Structure 1
């Protein structure tokens, strides 16, 4: 009996062959998959190098120092056709960041309003918000951009018959002109006060955070920071006005000058159409994100707020929305990334964004590989930076369990 037991024990302790070991097989499968991926990339890279060698195109970025030789219709930084390809690409990047930044701000505001409207007790408001989401979320963005550009903006009246409030906002087939602050002669004297306000605002933010942590009380330090910075800047403006007799900022009003508007900020038809399309399209998705976040809050929170005597607006602002943000922020980040990448559709309305300018550079230089690498690296950098900022904010508002 003992001999049988010892034989069985030896059989149990015998090592499993490697070809039957699950862990070993899993590692071998991963190694094989990795080798296959490397081989695939090597084949694609070798094919690319072979094609470039046949076309006599070097794989470098020295061409960016060559003269661009083409004009760009809308520039946010100084640019001339005699500048380099690198400068032209920088213009496209700045244009993309400009439309994406404004689009994110406007889409967030509009989407939040529509999302709250979807839960309104008012029958008309609730159904109008639902119709908005259904229409703009279920039609292609490219179709919407072309519609806004050709069927709406290009059909607006001429400059002389522009719609709007004279000196405030005017819309015509030349775009949208709005009143906008402009630097006056005393702006340089006031500029140090802006930097001083920034420093004081940061110090006030840090001090308030330290005070709240010491008292173990919840709260936000941003209102105190903005108040301190704003008062500093305002005091500086008053001192500059008292010493120079002019305010550092004036309001530039759009007026008709020749065949277009002068003064204020003028948005070209292409920029206006792209911004309008991206804002309205993305806001429809953000509205559903906001609605879902609000509905995720326990109804007991609302009942408790009512028991404390809070009004509906106070309940939404102080109780529901702070808790809903934990659910809203992650999908909201995806919509911000989608808006930034969708800005490449500006080529459909002739807006000189990064992709449009890069296409012109490719047509002239033939450096498609290098330019597409720059395009992908630029979009990737913007997306990673946006994700980082949103994740940092999400980590600050998340619920910490004890």
Structure 2
């Protein structure tokens, strides 16, 4: 082999696009490894210099504080792990409640933006342009400082029946459930799972066989009416625990803290404005001929929107809607600014007592990443379920 041909083959070998791509990927991976190693080394050195032991053993130590607004109550003797678990329940609860409320607000405001009624359309436009251009933290302080702090003290509470509202929060009557409430919950979960299977199996059989006599409505019947019957039999409240004023505060009943209300209203109103624009864009993305087809069948505007436009718009709405849901979950961390006992606020208190900043940061990442992935997986499944099937 001549020297010229050897050089030509070597040049061709090193000019291969796949080889260059592989080499570049190896360099990127090596660079990431070195950066991570450098960060880990500096973290370990700083922890040792501060005499802080690394690891998650601090989760088994006594926390030494409590939060009366927590859904799962705990006292000063609770461990750090139990406190973080309780704060995680608070985070999930307010996220779920805010997601439902923001979706309903966004649905009504988004449809209102396209209303033929001039006043409804303009009011919806003002709502969207006003609230989506205000940072959620400002809304949070508005509700916490501007509204909740001007409520009367406990002795001058506002009363609506057995409900009491004052500067310390809202007090509601609490039902005293029947003795077999746990049995009701277990049987209801089983029935709803069975209803889910029967409903979608019936729909699938109708789609595959074309037999419209298949009773697809058995599933909803079992999942709705049977739990109602079980509730009346096993869990119907025997009495009510009414909140009463004792000394300087109320006792009994359900307690809703002003911190929870402030965060709930701020997240729901802010995210509702963003969802409204997503829904409006999805509705306008549907071909106008669909509305005309519905009108030609004699359907009213409400039926056209509910049966024709919204089901088609969902295919456009769902992907950006998932992003809004995940942003809402992450924005719950703003609750630390007003003292709501969610993950960030409780973890910050534990960090001041233990100094385990790295471990707590890992917990934050795992929790928020895990919740976002769960929402993403569910919305992707729902998106595939709603997608048009092409032949």
State the TM-score, normalized to the length of structure 1.
0.87
Q: Give, in angstroms, the shift of residue 193 of structure 1.
A: 4.2
Pairing 1:76–2:71 present: yes
Q: Is the 8 A contact 1:193 1:232 kept in 2?
A: no
Shift in alpha-carbon separation, 1:254–1:117, aligned structure 2, 3 A = farther
> Hey, what's the Cα distance between the residues in 2 that align with 1:193 and 1:395?
33
Residue 44 (structure 2) aligns with: 49
Shift in alpha-carbon separation, 1:55–1:272, aligned structure 2, 3 A = same
1:109-124 to 2 correspondence within 5 Å?
109-124=104-119
Residue 154 (structure 1) aligns with: 149
Q: Is the 8 A contact 1:111 1:285 kept in 2?
A: yes
Correspondence for 1:34 among 23, 29, 34: 29
Shift in alpha-carbon separation, 1:84–1:334, aligned structure 2, 3 A = same
1:266-281 to 2 correspondence within 5 Å?
266-281=255-270
State the TM-score, normalized to the length of structure 2.
0.89
Correspondence for 1:231 among 210, 225, 244: 225
Pairing 1:321–2:325 present: no
Q: Give, in angstroms, the shift of residue 51 of structure 1.
A: 1.1
Correspondence for 1:248 among 236, 251, 255: 236
Number of matched residues? Answer: 381
Residue 311 (structure 1) aligns with: 300
Q: Give, in angstroms, the shift of residue 284 of structure 1.
A: 0.7
Correspondence for 2:176 among 183, 187, 203: 183
Shift in alpha-carbon separation, 1:352–1:205, aligned structure 2, 3 A = closer
1:337-376 to 2 correspondence within 5 Å?
337-376=326-365
Q: Give, in angstroms, the shift of residue 231 of structure 1.
A: 2.4
5+ residue gaps, structure 2, are none
Shift in alpha-carbon separation, 1:319–1:20, aligned structure 2, 3 A = same
Pairing 1:166–2:154 present: no
Q: Is the 8 A contact 2:198 2:218 kept in 1?
A: no
More deviation, 81-90/207-216? 207-216
> Hey, what's the Cα distance between the residues in 1 that align with 2:189 and 2:173?
25
Q: Give, in angstroms, the shift of residue 14 of structure 1.
A: 5.1
Q: Give, in angstroms, the shift of residue 114 of structure 1.
A: 0.8
- Alpha-carbon RMSD across the aligned residues, in angstroms, is 2.6
Shift in alpha-carbon separation, 1:261–1:287, aligned structure 2, 3 A = farther
Q: Is the 8 A contact 1:179 1:251 kept in 2?
A: no
More deviation, 354-363/90-99? 90-99
Pairing 1:284–2:273 present: yes
Residue 211 (structure 1) aligns with: 202
Shift in alpha-carbon separation, 1:69–1:120, aligned structure 2, 3 A = same
5+ residue gaps, structure 1, are 1-9, 241-246
